[in-house]
Amino acid sequence: MTDRIYYTYAYLREDGTPYYIGRGKGDRAFDITHRIKVPPKERVLFLKRNLSYAEASRHEIYMIAVLGRKDLGNGILRNLTNGGEGRPGPKPKEEVEKISKSLTGRIMPDEVKQKISRTKTGVPIHSEVEKEKRRLKFKENNPNASGEAVKGKKVWNNGLANCYSDTCPGEGWILGRLGEGGFKGKNHSKSLCRKFSEDRKKRRHWVNKEGKTKFQEICPGQGWALGRKWKEV
C-alpha cells in the first residue's frame, strides 16, 4: 500500500497572497533551512493532505502552473522550477558524494553567509518600513535629540535625560550618556545636587485612559489626569 504521508503547502504574504508552493511530509513546511524564507506559522497554508508522493507532485505542478512564476514574468510565485522535481526518501550515497565534491573548495560570499545566519537565528532582515518605525521610536524615547542624524554628535546628560549636540546644551549638562559614565559615581557640588532634587520634586505623575504615564511638572494636555492609575470621574 502506498504511504499517503505527503501534503502540499503555500507560504503566504502579509496580504494573504501565496509566494511559494511546496510539497513535503513531516515538518518540511516549517524547515528553516528552506531556500525560501519561512513565514510565521499562521501564514503557512496546507492545501492538500494525506497524499501519495505522486499525487503531491502532480498537485504542486498544477498549483505552480495556475499561479505562475515571478522569474518567468507570468505569475506571483517565487518558485524557480515548475515543481514535481526531486525524489522521495534520502538521496543515494553516490548522489551525496557527487554533490559534496562539486561544493568542495567553493567560497561563500559574506552577503550569503549573513542571510543564512539571519534565517537560522530567526532574525529578520529589516525592511525600510521597519527601519522608519525604529527611527520614530528612537525620537519618541529621546525627545531632546534633534531631527538630524545623531551619528557623530556628542552625548550630554543632565541626570534626567540625554541630549545629542555638538556643543553643551546649557547649564547643568555634562558630557556623557545617562547611566554610562554620566552622573553615575561622580561627585557634584551641593548646589547642583540641590537643583536636581528640586526639579524632581516639582514633577508629578500623569495618566491617560490608555494607561500611559508621564512624569513631568505640568499636565501634558487634554485627556490626562493626575496620578499613576486612571480613575473615571
Mean pLDDT of the residues in the chain: 77
110 in the same domain as 137: no
Q: What is the pLDDT of residue 223?
A: 82
87 in the same domain as 21: yes
Q: What is the pLDDT of residue 197?
A: 75
With a cut of 50, say whether residue 149 has pLDDT above it: no
Grid coordinates representing 49? 493532505
164 in the same domain as 93: no
Dihedral of alpha carbons 187, 189, 194, 195, sign: negative
Q: What is the pLDDT of residue 147?
A: 47
44 in the same domain as 107: yes
**Band of the pLDDT at 178, cuts 50, 70, 90?**
low
**Band of the pLDDT at 36, cuts 50, 70, 90?**
confident
Which domain does 184 fall in, by range? 131-189
224 in the same domain as 159: no
With a cut of 80, say whether residue 148 has pLDDT above it: no
Nearest to 81 by CA among 71, 73, 89, 90: 71
86 in the same domain as 52: yes
With a cut of 50, say whether residue 182 has pLDDT above it: no
Write out pLDDT tens, residues 51-93: 999 999 999 999 999 999 998 989 999 999 998 876 655 555 6
Kindly state whether residue 70 falls inside one of the protein's structural domains: yes
| Cβ atoms of 144 and 165 closer than 8 Å | no
- In the chain, the percentage of residues whose pLDDT exceeds 90 is 23
Kindly state whether residue 197 falls inside one of the protein's structural domains: no
165 in the same domain as 141: yes
14 in the same domain as 113: yes
Kindly state whether residue 1 falls inside one of the protein's structural domains: no
Kindly state whether residue 184 falls inside one of the protein's structural domains: yes
Nearest to 230 by CA among 204, 207, 213, 214: 207
Kindly state whether residue 96 falls inside one of the protein's structural domains: yes
Write out pLDDT tens, residues 198-217: 777 777 878 888 878 887 77
135 in the same domain as 115: no
210 in the same domain as 104: no
With a cut of 90, say whether residue 21 has pLDDT above it: yes
Kindly state whether residue 139 falls inside one of the protein's structural domains: yes
Which residue has better confidence, 114 or 225? 225
Assign residue 64 a region (left: φ > 0; alpha: ψ between -120 and 50; beta: otherwise): alpha
Kindly state whether residue 198 falls inside one of the protein's structural domains: no
Q: What is the pLDDT of residue 124?
A: 57
Number of structural domains, the chain? 3
Kindly state whether residue 215 falls inside one of the protein's structural domains: yes
